[in-house]
Amino acid sequence: MAKAIEGYWNDLRGTKVWRSVFRSGAGSSNLHRSLAVQQNIFLHLASVKMRRRSLAFSVTWYLGTLTLATFITLTGSGILLMLYYHPSVPQAYADMKDLQFVVSAGVFLRNLHRWSAHAMVFLVFAHMFKVFYRGAYRPPREFNWVIGVILLLVTLFLSYTGYLLPWDQLAFWAITVGSNIMSAVPVLGAKLRFLMLGGNTVNANALLRFYVLHCVILPLLAALFIAVHFWRIRKDGGLYTGKAETHG
């Protein structure tokens, strides 16, 4: 049975259609395996070879991967929540309540989104602590630390902008306080607050602006910098394993 499946699998990999998609072709040589990674748009961000030790749990505790998993979960559940949510003052709160009590599986998706968001912020910090205390930020990986700090800020802004969208008392006052903290920026503070809220108070414009930031601008920024972050792992010689490394 297993033999038969393997046979079908190998036949499939030999077909013209398969070869048109995966040009590297079937084969278990190092070259074939390397090409399979290198010629795949999703896999080419990763190295074609890595140290076996870098896959050990103790090296990373898989915190970066888990952060990516929460980001993917958030993107998926967030897109589904967008189908029932109108970012307008009369509807936002009612839509949030509908998601909890009326929409099938709405409460599951909303809670999934909420808990994943908390988990993502926690995991980002945990990942950064792990990287910091292991010294994995040191050259040649110092620039990837900088990308990581940008991703931390994007994560926090995603969290902050998402906080307003339920449009309840907690959201309103949290954003009022947060936007007033922003106006403490020297010289530009009050202007920045006005531009971010699209007005002087947390109102319809602020809700719409936060919605666009939360659903479009910040996720795109996050995806862009995540791609750079992963690509840099390869460019900086793979994951830091803690063993003596040689750099050419």
Interface with other proteins by CB under 8 A: which residues? Answer: 173, 176-177, 179-181, 194-195, 198-201, 203-205
Closest CB to other proteins among residues 108, 173: 173
Write down the least CB distance from residue 191 to other proteins, Å: 9
CA distances, 187 to each of 39, 73, 169, 182, 190 (Å): 50, 39, 30, 11, 8
Closest CB to other proteins among residues 195, 220: 195
Tell me how far, at minimum, the Cβ of 97 lies from other proteins, in Å: 23
What is the enclosing helix (H) or strand (E) of 25? none
Considering the complex, state which of residue 91 and residue 180 has its C-beta at the smaller distance from other proteins. 180
User: Min. distance of Cβ 42 from other proteins in angstroms?
Assistant: 34
Task: Please state whether 13 falls in left (phi above 0), alpha (psi between -120 and 50) or beta.
Answer: alpha
Between CA 122 and CA 220 the distance in angstroms is 21
Task: Please report how close the Cβ of residue 206 comes to other proteins at its closest, in angstroms.
Answer: 11
Cβ-Cβ contacts under 8 Å for 59 (sequence gap 6 or more)? 53, 239, 240, 241, 242
Peptide bond preceding 140 in cis form (omega within 30 of 0): yes
For other proteins, the closer CB: 80 or 196: 196
Compute the least distance from the CB of residue 184 to other proteins, in Å. Answer: 9
Cβ nearer to other proteins, comparing 120 with 218: 218
